[in-house]
Structure formats: C-alpha cells, structure tokens
Amino acid sequence: MKDEFSRAASEPDGPDINHLHHRLTDTPKAWQDQTVPAYFYPMLHDVVFRHCPHVKAHDLVEFQKPLQQRNWYRISLLILFFISDDCFAQYRLSLTDVIALLHQTAKELSDAGSNRVYINDVDRREEFIRVVLHSLNLRPKGETPTQAEDRLQAASSTERFKVLQASKSAEERARKLRVALAKQKAKEAADKMTRE
C-alpha cells in the first residue's frame, strides 16, 4: 500500500480528462469493428518511437504474432491512437511503461470490453482513460494523487475484478482456516475422551 501511495504521489499531472474524452470519441469508426488493420505494425512502431526513440525491434517482440492470434491487438490499436494525441508529447514516457500499456494493460482492457464499448459508453471511456493514465504514471490534470486513485478504483471494472478476486481468496483462506480449527478441536476432544 505504501508503494502504491508513493507511486501515486510521484505521478505528475497528465492531460485534461475532458480533452481525452474527446480524443476517444474522435477514434476512426473503422477501428470499432473486430478486425485489426494491416497497418497496425507500422503504426505501433511509429507511435512507440515517437515517445521512446531508443526502442529496438526486440522490445516489440510481443507484437510479432499474426494479427488474428491476438485479440488484444484491437485495444492496443485504440491505445496507440489515444497516446498519439499531441497532448502526450510533453510527457516523458518510459519504454517499459509504454510496452506494458500496449501489452498487459491492453489484455486486461480487452478482457473487460471492446473498442466500441470504450469509445461509445461514457463510463467505460472514463475507465479506459484512467487505466491508461495510471499505466503511464500520469493522473488527470488538476487531480490530487488521492483523488486520481479513488476515481480509478471507482471507474475501473478491472480494478473491481481484482478487488473481488482478492476478497474471494481471503474468504477461501478464512474458510480453510475454520475447517482446520474445527478438525483440530474435534481431534483434541477425541484425545481427551480417550484419556478419560
């Protein structure tokens, strides 16, 4: 928890969230369907290179599979369009963060929704924006670290899923502990009766 707080405290103000909502709604309509265009690879390289000029071919190894084999490439495409906006040019984005955003974060977002949903549904658009900014160690302009974290938790279905999974795991551990304690008490009671 302390690491998350110190990370949030060090996150600089990012772009204005209203501008980012408009950016998403300006996504080309063709990118809302289920196909990934053939120009995905050059676009990936160009956008990553724009933010991280020291990128090498081996850094993009996760994106060398055929387009049909990666459902999450569609979300990666949406992220590429999103972060290619000029408002991101002023921020120093690390290559590690950009690759993680386009790979792991894209997979998580893909599991929770589609491009069409993130573009057209205002609540899911908010989720997309906040998750992307968080992955890049940015927060919406004018928000404190605490506000940004609280609003991310409230908006993010993936974050809610993680909390739900953690809660289920804790409940399962507690159940196993109760069963183990009941067995231990039964064994102790049986031992006591045997001694008497």
pLDDT above 90: residue 45: yes
pLDDT of 163 reads 47
- The three-state secondary structure class of 184 is helix
What is the percent of the chain where pLDDT is above 70? 82
pLDDT of 29 reads 85
Identity of residue 165: Q
Between CA 54 and CA 163 the distance in angstroms is 36
pLDDT of 49 reads 95
pLDDT of 18 reads 94
152: Cα within 13 Å, side-chain hemisphere? 24
pLDDT band at 9 (very low <50, low <70, confident <90, very high): very low
Helices (H), the chain: 2-10, 17-25, 40-51, 73-83, 95-100, 106-112, 115-120, 122-135, 145-155, 157-195
Between CA 126 and CA 118 the distance in angstroms is 8
Query: pTM of the predicted model, to two decimals?
Result: 0.72
131: Cα within 13 Å, side-chain hemisphere? 28
Q: What token pair was written down for 86?
A: 């000029």
Q: Choose between 37 and 86: higher pLDDT.
A: 86
